[in-house]
Amino acid sequence: MAESLGQGFADGWLKAFQAFQNIDIGNLASLAPQSEAQMLKFSPEKLQQLQAGYLEEAAQLWNQALHSNLPLKDRRFKAEAWSNNPLASFNAAVYLLNARTLMAMAEAAEGDAKTKNRIRFAVEQWMAASAPSNYLAFNAEAQQKAIETKGESLAQGVKNMLHDLQQGHVSMTDESLFEVGRNVATTEGAVVFENELFQLLEYKPLTAKIHERPFLLVPPCINKFYILDLQPENSLIRYAVSQGHRTFVVSWRNPDQTLSGKTWDDYIEDAAIKAIHTVQDITGSPQINALGFCVGGTILTTALAVLAARGEQPVASATLLTTLVDFSDTGILDVFIDEAMVRFREMQMGSGGLLKGQDLASTFSFLRPNDLVWNYVVGNYLKGETPPPFDLLYWNSDSTNLPGPFYAWYLRNTYLENNLIKAGKCTVAGEKIDLGKIDIPVYIYGSREDHIVPIGAAYASTQVLPGKKRFMMGASGHIAGVINPPEAKKRSHWVRADGKFPKSVDEWIAGAQEVPGSWWTDWAAWLKGHAGKQIAAPKSYGKAGKYKASEPAPGSYVKVKA
């Protein structure tokens, strides 16, 4: 039997070699839209090199498999069950060789940058999905566990799958262990204002004196605000309060059909600007400081431009965390954006409707398919495991809907046409906006490994906003780079002492110095310089008469599921 099985592998390999030698480039080109595929070409010399390299590596792999165990460096195949099973390890090694070769072919394609990016993305998705570790018939580790548990792991895997089908998404953590307001989003505060789009939360001071200029945080509306308040030890909100700032946060409503007609203008006028004016009214301060995170930063910047067009400057300084203002470089998300896609969304929901939160969450998960999709498919279903508790992944699964008109306007005017940076191009809330009129101090933060807001895209705001600026680059990605409290003593950040902002981020980095640890302390020192003198902390929330505390933080809006 072993001999016939070995002969079967040999026959299969001969067929694979022949298939690769006669590969039809049109098959790879078909991963792009037809109009782009017709423009896609390959250099015959590069293709011959790839074919020759593939045959050489395949021959070495076959010879090595006959005499010793195959080294599998990919973490999906690290368990001993793979190395102890020659057929499984050989199958994994073949997959890795094919993956490397297909990615090399994607890199060798001759075409415009967008087409190449789409080919690369499609190949990555294909190879991530086709890994032998994703299928019980080929996963040696899952098979071994099924034998050791006498099938219990398979039974549990089926239960996990049925549970996830019912809840509508793959479990990344044990969601039953978390509850908003009980063990996430626990910083003490109260709701002091609400309308149909948001609740305004005010937090209880942790210091006897506070700065006279209050502080407003505008989180992204594509997910929930408590990413900034997961646990007391990693809460940016609690950190701001502890630094003596009277702190307010916008908690977005999770839209249902009653909000399906809301527009970008509504979110600017009735949410961002309303929140700014409400904080002014509550505190009596003529100016406040504000922070925007991700899409919240884009919303805040747009609101400031509208206010500037009206001759108002209620915000003394702004902080932008991993924010896109100039959408010239949108990273991997660019593969989804073109005129046809945007026009389809406009037809589908531009006049009303909802973009389901789970659709948006799935899109972001598949930007990192091995880490955020297939890893949990294998663990939950093939091995019958329950993922460990992790507050960040609980938040990641707590998705939020978006109104269709808001989403359609955002796609066209930012990702597709990059209109925000074109003075007078956009009319928002009745005003032609010009970001060049936002002449206030700005602290701009970008994460070095961010795949959603590339570091160059975050840095691009320095070339658009005219006021005095400080740019900070942190290590890690879109979330982990931002949520990096000083006490953790993790990761580095980079600063540039000369205050210069060359055109490219690479030039800026070349002149920057690495500093160990969190960037939060640098930002806190900067914000303190714009926060004004110390005054006595308020004894109660809101303002007597007009803005009374209606319910404890984190409020009710954040608890609504998509």
- The vertex-462 CA angle with 457 and 466, nearest 5°, equals 140
Catalytic residues: 294
Give helix 152-167 / helix 140-148 axis angle, nearest 10°. 120
End-to-end CA distance of the chain: 54
Neighbouring residues of 395: CB distance < 8 A, sequence distance ≥ 6: 184, 223, 224, 226, 227, 230
DSSP state of 385: P
For residues 426 and 433, the answer to whether their CB atoms sit within 8 Å is: yes
The helix/strand/coil state of 216 is strand
CA 88 → CA 93, 145, 274, distances in Å?
9, 15, 60
Which of 515, 454, 445 minimizes the C-alpha distance to 473? 445
> Measured between alpha carbons, how far is 54 from 51 in angstroms, rounded to an integer?
5
For residues 400 and 561, the answer to whether their CB atoms sit within 8 Å is: no
For residues 269 and 215, the answer to whether their CB atoms sit within 8 Å is: no
| List of E strands, 166-314 | 189-194, 198-203, 209-211, 215-218, 247-252, 288-293
